[in-house]
Every structure is written in C-alpha cells, then in structure tokens.
Chains A and B, each alone.
Chain A
Amino acid sequence: MKKSHILLLVVIAVAIGVIVSTADDASTYVGFSEAWAMSTSGNNKEIHVVGQLKKDPNGHILGIRQGEDRVSFSFIMVDDEGKEQQVNYSQPMPPDFTRSEKVVVIGSYKGDVFNASKIILKCPSKYQEENVNA
C-alpha cells in the first residue's frame, strides 16, 4: 500500500467521523407536543421549536410578562402545529423581539413550561416596514 493511499484513507475516515458527529450533535426542529413527549420520556436534549408570538386579531402581542428583575421574561408562543406554550427566558428581551415574524426557541421542558436557553428571531426585512415616524 502506498503512503498516499494510507493518507487518503485517514482523511476519509476523519471526514466520515466529522459528518457522523455533526449528524449526531445536530439538534432537531420539533413541535411543542413532540418536545413534551421527548421530555416526559426522559430525553432532555435541547431542541429547536419554530413558531410565532401569540397575537390577537388586531396584531397585538399577547402574553408577554417581564420578570420583576427585568433580566428575564416569559411569553406565549404558538408553534407551527398551532399549539400554544408558555416559554420562559432568563435573559432580557432580545432586540426587535416584538417585531419578529417568526421565533425559534432553543431549549427544553422543565415541568410545564418550556425554558429557552436561546432565542433566534426572524424579522421582516426593512423593505416591508410599514411605518415612518414623521
């Protein structure tokens, strides 16, 4: 066997290792019902849930509660399957939170509430912005 073949095998082995580990460490997008099922079956791996903030028919956001310390807050999120869930976040509200059209929370269930360790927002692009302050 030539050295270059050995080297090639090593490279391929490492590359496969990387891919397997990436696939293994990758989190998953699930709905709240599935996340709940996972947590009750003892799987506490953090997962991603995609959804929106709960809004009334006029577009006002419902259910945001500031923590007394102002370094945390909770809100109600509706996932893509339509299930509502209270989400706690132990950090201040991220910039543009209330303007987001889509929210991704990363975290896991703790009892009845979903504890988010990270929140990612998808904000409308500036082109769709509707208000100009005169």
Chain B
Amino acid sequence: MPVSDSIHEKLTKGLAPQRLEVIDESHLHAGHASAPEGGESHFRLLIVSAAFEGLSRVARQRLVNGLLSEELSGPVHALAMKTLTPDEAAAA
C-alpha cells in the first residue's frame, strides 16, 4: 500500500477526522542531503478532528505521531501538520 494511503487509513481510524488532507511533498525535497530515494518521504497533513479538543499543540502532534509511528520509523522522513478542532477550523 502506498504510504499516503496507510497514513490516510490510520488517521481516519484513529481520529475520525471531519477533514483530512494528506499531501505528499516529497518532490520538493528530491535530492536533498538526507531524503530517501523514490519519494513518499515528506508529507504535510491537515487534520480537523474533535479528538484534539482540550489537547495542547504538543499533545495533538504526539497523538498523530503515535498513530503513525510505523511510518515515522520507516519511510517517512518529515511530517508537517496542522491540527485543528472543528471549532478552530470554523473560526479560521
């Protein structure tokens, strides 16, 4: 399964997000010092989920990182993310 699909699947299962975008930005980093070959290494996430309510920024990212620990210890080299609650997303 492509890495972006497994990210999508795990976050959908773990966070029941209202909105989820998984953007592969690997092409922007091709050839840089520590980027693995073949892409699927740099991702940007936008996640809107009620699961983030009451959590600090660090706690939100830890939650996401925990769900994706397998990807992060394997192919995924960089993971940028925006984590919003439904209320925060509505206000943005």
| Chain A partners chain B | no
